[in-house]
Amino acid sequence: MAGDAVAWGRFWLCSMGKEGVFMFDATTREGQRKWPMQGVVQPKREDVLRLPRVHISTHPVMAHKMTRLRDRQTQPPDFYRLVKEIGALLAYEATETLALEEEEIETPLQKMNGQRLAGGIGVTPILRAGLGLAEGFREVISDAQVWHLGLRRDEETLQALEYYNQLPHQVEFQVCYAVDPMLATGGSAIDALTILKRRGIPRLSYVGIIAAPYGLMKLSQAHPDVDIYIAALDESLNDLGYIVPGLGDAGDRQFGTF
């Protein structure tokens, strides 16, 4: 089995041989084929570029940081810092339509009517990989409340499983941003937004770093009322359900758990 590694993962080594993608348990070395996305028809980039409510960053500083983030040479401390910085840039873009209300203040010279954000803002990091993004958000909106939600993608079925929930029971907030770097099949994002909607949050946005066309299409169809902000739209998912070219496993690269 010769070839290049095609995915980052805690327990799996993956190689691309003549027969396709072959995964084997790195601990036991017992070979097993697990190709959850094999044969699944995926939309192309052009098919999803003009979906309503989808915003893809065009900022040159974002493009610069994305290149550093994707680079396999970038080590966890720098990777985490970059996720935070990209989170702050995305927060700036995703908050452009927030409602304001008037506030009377006094400058050292005179009274004036200023403006403040109308109503509170919630940020829901989808654990674990959403943590760095949420930190970036708080650099822009320091008093945002953070509501943690733990979802883990089963790597064989690609289904998201909920394991932690710290969402508030009564919510009177202007908006909540669900943040997670990777929108792959869309399963985690779709489930997170469904869970948030059940809590009665009036307005929701999704903020991610990289999306695959497949996940973007699924998310847009499942939650057509949700604004989606991303830094980059990639080509596709590989047979394992990883985004390509992507950046590998966003959680492992932030927290050094290879």
List residues binding ligand URA (CB under 6 A).
129, 182, 184, 242-243, 246, 249-251
- List CB contacts of 172: < 8 A, sequence separation 6 or more: 119, 120
With CB under 5 to 8 Å by kind, the binding choice for 226 among ligand URA, ligand PRP, none is: none
Contacting residue, 65, 70, 128, 253, with ligand PRP by CB under 6 A: 128
Residue closer to ligand PRP, measured from CB, 122 or 181? 181
The one-letter amino acid at 74: T
With CB under 5 to 8 Å by kind, the binding choice for 188 among ligand PRP, ligand URA, none is: ligand PRP
Left (φ > 0), alpha (ψ -120 to 50) or beta: where does 228 sit? beta
* Alpha-carbon span 207 to 229, nearest angstrom: 5
Residues 177-206 that bind ligand PRP (CB under 6 A): 180-189
* Contact between residue 191 and residue 162 where contact means Cβ atoms under 8 Å apart: yes
Residue closer to ligand URA, measured from CB, 184 or 217? 184
Rg from Cα positions in the chain: 20
Q: How far is the CB of 155 from ligand PRP (least distance, A)?
A: 8
Burial of 110 per CB tally in 10 Å (0-12, 13-18, 19+): exposed
Under the criterion CB under 6 A, does residue 220 sit at the interface with ligand PRP?
A: no
Beta bridge partners of 89: none
* Alpha-carbon span 243 to 253, nearest angstrom: 14
Nearest residue by C-beta to ligand PRP?
251
Q: How far is the CB of 75 from ligand URA (least distance, A)?
A: 17
Residue closer to ligand PRP, measured from CB, 14 or 129? 129
From the centroid of its chain, how far is CA 124? Answer: 11
| Binding segment toward ligand PRP, per CB under 6 A, in 81-89, 121-129, 138-146, 165-173 | 121-129
* Contact between residue 125 and residue 179 where contact means Cβ atoms under 8 Å apart: yes
> Could you tell me the two tokens for 205?
């946005």
Contacting residue, 132, 215, 246, 248, with ligand PRP by CB under 6 A: 215
Give the footprint of ligand PRP on this chain (CB under 6 A). 126-129, 151-153, 158, 160, 180-189, 215, 241, 250-251
